[in-house]
Amino acid sequence: MKNVEQLNGLTLAYIGDAIYELYIREYLINQGITKPNHLHKTATKYVSAKAQAMLMKAMLQDEIFLSEKEKTMYKRGRNTKSHTSAKNTDIMTYRVATGFETLIGYLYLEKQEMRLQELCQWCTTFIGEKYENN
């Protein structure tokens, strides 16, 4: 495989989207949610562009949560010009979500499994607390 750092931001986002979606699906099934309609509705709270943008913004608020390399990879994805348009959200939310997916894709392809697991667990906790309190 090519050097992961040389990959286009959208390529990293492409794999990151799939990896994060799979992580969330497995997480929800492990939580005992097994009905497909309920799984889909609940997963949307975690994987929508709006949710991913909210997660990314929260990560960036903590100055030391992400490494400089992770911030760079996020920015690469966020700043990449996409030839598709955002569905159900504004362009800035879409771009921040693309940056989130780029970061996930980067960690996955770099085989940084422990860090990827840590971020995904943080995301499920963050979203879970948000929806428990609303």
Residues annotated catalytic, as ranges: 17
What gap in Å lies between CA 54 and CA 9, rounded to an integer?
A: 19
SS3 content of the chain, % helix, strand, coil (to 5): 75, 0, 25
101 contacts 17 by C-beta, under 8 angstroms = yes
Cβ proximity of 53 and 96 under 8 Å? yes
- How many CB atoms are located within 10 Å of the residue 127 CB? 19
CA torsion, points 88, 50, 13, 113, in degrees to nearest 10? -150
